[in-house]
């Protein structure tokens, strides 16, 4: 589903996204338009951290850290 929330600045089309730092921050800060508010925000924070960890430990990043 698309994401738009003016207070956090989150504005993303539906589907997978590759976010820069500013976009990731606005995504994890959003809570006002989420059904479970802060609980859904925690889920988003966990998803972003898991994705970041996956990128950091991937073989392409380990062999060439500058790609991160």
pLDDT tens for each residue of the chain, 68 residues long? 888 888 888 888 999 888 999 999 998 888 888 889 899 999 999 999 999 888 888 877 777 777 76
**CA separation for the pair 39, 51 (Å, rounded):** 19
CA distance readout (Å), 51 to 12, 45, 47: 17, 10, 6
Q: Report pLDDT for 68.
A: 65
Angle, in degrees to the nearest 10, between helices 21-29 and 38-57: 150
Q: Report pLDDT for 43.
A: 94
Domain ranges of the chain: 3-67
Q: Report pLDDT for 33.
A: 82
């Amino acid at each position: 589903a698309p994401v738009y929330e003016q207070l956090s600045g989150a504005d993303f089309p539906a589907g997978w996204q590759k976010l820069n730092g500013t976009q990731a921050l606005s995504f994890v800060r959003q809570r006002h338009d989420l059904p479970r508010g802060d609980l859904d925000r925690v889920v988003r924070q966990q998803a972003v951290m898991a994705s970041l960890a996956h990128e950091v430990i991937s073989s392409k990043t380990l062999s060439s850290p500058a790609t991160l």
